[in-house]
């Protein structure tokens, strides 16, 4: 990144009382200029707690929507309107209504959903708190969507019946990791620990040494004595850990890239912040109902 761009961003941030939030999967130059980096849960909390007038959300559409829902009086901007999560599109309000009618169970909306879906949820969850949320719900049967692998993970950890809605929803970035990747990694690096995200396939999760959200992976790397760690999640987190922990050997289980996350660039960030464009808006009624599900998540955890 050019030094001038760095000055532009710092100057714009001050002049406009803006804060930059960046997901762990963003390109490194964006993570480097962000005021907060983190996973969906950490960024939701940062969005909830900020005093800034403008939130620049460097992530994908549903994340910026969540920030807008939690901050109806603030301006939320996203660098690229093309940063659209393909998994969030795999579920909609109609599917939730039908599943609730069929199973008569509470619906847990993974935060990776659009506002219309969250508005019908009993509670939201992230990959960092899904176990606590499901555990603390007063029901032995729970609906969860759209990620079927995360639903499997929640069922394993809680012993509850967790029904995925839809049946086979998944994140293409994490679905790309295969059992063979783990087998090859074990053979080539017998001295390494393998850690993966709960959006990975169940058979990959079963073979890993640790399963956790990106923030839990960062903690694992920080607290572990292992010199070599192989990571099964999007490449942005692997690059960040390599930069933060030069004392360790950080490898990727497979180079898996989220194209949606990479739509945001420094140039776009500078432009939308100076123009105050790409404002994220959510219908008031939908936002109010979605906010209740997000706040219930904070209560349950
Ligand atoms: S990593 Fe997967 S869930 Fe996250 S934004 Fe990309 S496609 Fe969506």
- Write out pLDDT tens, residues 129-178: 999 999 999 999 999 999 999 999 999 999 999 999 999 999 999 999 99
What's the rounded mean pLDDT across residues 79-104?
97
Q: Which residue is closest in CA terms to ligand 1's atom 8?
A: 85
Q: 9 with 30, same domain? A: yes
Same-domain pairing of 115 and 147:
yes
* Band (301; pLDDT cuts 50, 70, 90): confident
Question: Is the pLDDT reported for residue 240 higher than 60?
Answer: yes
Q: Judge if the beta carbon of residue 39 lies within 6 A of ligand 1.
A: no
- How many CB atoms are closer than 10 A to CB 194? 22
Same domain assignment for residues 165 and 103: yes
Is the CB of residue 60 below 6 angstroms from any atom belonging to ligand 1?
A: yes
Instruction: Note the pLDDT of residue 3.
Output: 56
Question: Domain span at residue 96?
Answer: 88-171+289-300
Residue 9: which residues within 8 A CB-CB, separation 6 or more?
Answer: 20, 33, 266, 269, 270, 273
Tokens for 204, please give them.
Answer: 């990959």
Higher pLDDT, 45 or 196: 196
Residue 184 has pLDDT above 90, yes or no: yes
Together in a domain, 159 and 296: yes
Q: What whole-number distance in Å separates Cα of residue 77 and Cα of residue 63?
A: 11
Q: Are residues 207 and 70 part of one domain?
A: no
Confidence at residue 16, expressed as pLDDT on a 0 to 100 scale: 96
What ligand 1 atom has the least distance to the C-alpha of 258?
A: 6
Instruction: Mark whether 199 and 142 lie in a shared domain.
Output: no
Tens of pLDDT, residues 187-233: 999 999 999 999 999 999 999 999 999 999 999 999 999 999 999 99
| pLDDT beyond 60 at 2 | no
pLDDT of residue 171: 98
Q: Which of 290, 237, 217, 259 is nearest to 86 (CA)?
A: 259
Q: Is the CB of 260 under 6 A from ligand 1?
A: yes
Same domain flag for 225 and 157 = no
Verify that 124 and 195 share a domain, yes or no.
Answer: no
| pLDDT value of residue 130 | 98
CA 86 to ligand 1 center in whole angstroms: 7
Mutation choice for ligand 1 from 63, 111, 172, 196, CB with most ligand atoms inside 8 A: 172
Residue 86 in contact with ligand 1 by CB distance below 6 A: yes
pLDDT at residue 283 is higher than 60: yes
Is 6 a residue whose pLDDT tops 80?
Answer: no
Residues 21 and 80 in one domain: yes
Query: Closest ligand 1 atom to the C-alpha of 260?
Result: 6
What is the number of domains present in the chain?
3
Q: How many angstroms does the Cα of residue 14 sit away from the middle of ligand 1?
A: 31
Gap from CA of 91 to ligand 1 centroid (Å): 14
**Which pLDDT belongs to residue 79?**
98
Burial 54-84 (b: 16+ CB within 10 A, else e): bbbbbbbbbbbbbbbbbbeebbbbbbbeebe
CATH code, domain with 13: 3.40.50.10800
Residue 293 and residue 149 in one domain:
yes
The proportion of the chain whose per-residue pLDDT surpasses 70, expressed as a percent, equals 98
Please compute the mean of the pLDDT values over residues 62-66 and round it to a whole number.
95
Residues 141 and 96 occupy one common structural domain: yes
Residue bearing the CA closest to ligand 1, atom 5: 85
User: Do 61 and 92 belong to one domain?
Assistant: no
Ligand 1 neighbour 234 (Cβ under 6 A): yes
The reported pLDDT for the residue numbered 1 is 55
What is the per-residue burial (b if ≥16 Cβ within 10 Å, else e) of 210-233? bbbbbbbbbebbeeeebeebbbbb
Q: Is the CB of 112 under 6 A from ligand 1?
A: yes
Angle of CA points 139, 118, 167, to nearest 5°:
65
For the chain, give the secondary structure using H, E and C.
CCHHHHHHHHHHHHHHCEEEEEECCCCHHHHHHCCEEECHHHHHHHHHHCCCCEEEEECCHHHHHHHHHHCCCCEEECCCCCCCCCCHHHCCHHHHHHHHHHHCCCEEEECCCCHHHHCCCCEEECCCCHHHHHHHCCCCEEEEECCHHHHHHHHHHHCCEEEECCCCCCCHHHHCCCHHHHHHHHHHCCCCEEEECCCCCHHHHHHCCEECCHHHHHHHHHHCCCCEEEEECCHHHHHHHHHHCCCCEEEECCCCCCCCHHHCCHHHHHHHHHHCCCECCCCHHHHHHHHHHHHHHHHHC
Predicted confidence (pLDDT) at residue 5 exceeds the cutoff of 70: no
- What is the reported pLDDT for 264? 98
Q: How far is the CA of 74 from the centre of ligand 1 (A)?
A: 25
């Amino acid at each position: 990144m050019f030094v001038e761009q760095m000055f532009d961003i710092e100057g714009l941030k001050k002049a406009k009382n803006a804060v930059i939030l960046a997901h762990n999967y963003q390109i490194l130059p964006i993570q480097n200029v962000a005021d907060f980096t983190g996973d969906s849960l950490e960024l939701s909390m940062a969005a909830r707690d900020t005093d800034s007038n403008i939130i620049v959300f460097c992530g994908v559409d549903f994340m910026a929507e969540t920030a807008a829902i939690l901050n109806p009086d603030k301006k939320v901007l996203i660098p690229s309107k093309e940063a659209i999560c393909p998994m969030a599109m795999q579920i909609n309000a109609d599917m939730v209504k039908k599943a609730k009618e069929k199973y008569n169970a509470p619906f847990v909306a993974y935060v990776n959903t659009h506002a219309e879906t969250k508005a019908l949820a009993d509670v939201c969850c992230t990959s960092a708190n899904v176990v606590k949320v499901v555990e603390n719900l007063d029901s032995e049967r729970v609906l969860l969507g759209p990620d079927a692998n995360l639903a499997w993970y929640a069922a394993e950890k809680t012993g509850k019946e967790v029904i995925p809605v839809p049946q086979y929803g998944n994140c293409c970035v994490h679905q790309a990791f295969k059992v063979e990747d783990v087998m090859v990694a074990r053979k080539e690096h017998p001295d390494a620990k393998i850690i993966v995200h709960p959006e990975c396939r169940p058979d990959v999760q079963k073979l890993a040494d640790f399963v956790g959200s990106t923030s839990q992976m960062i903690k694992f790397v920080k607290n572990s004595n292992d010199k070599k760690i192989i990571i099964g999640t999007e490449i942005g987190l692997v690059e960040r850990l390599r930069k933060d922990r030069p004392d360790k050997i950080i490898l990727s289980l497979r180079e898996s890239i989220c194209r949606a996350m990479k739509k945001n660039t420094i140039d776009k960030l500078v432009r939308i912040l100076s123009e105050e464009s790409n404002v994220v808006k959510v219908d008031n009624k939908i936002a109010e109902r979605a906010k209740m599900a997000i706040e219930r998540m904070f209560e349950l955890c």
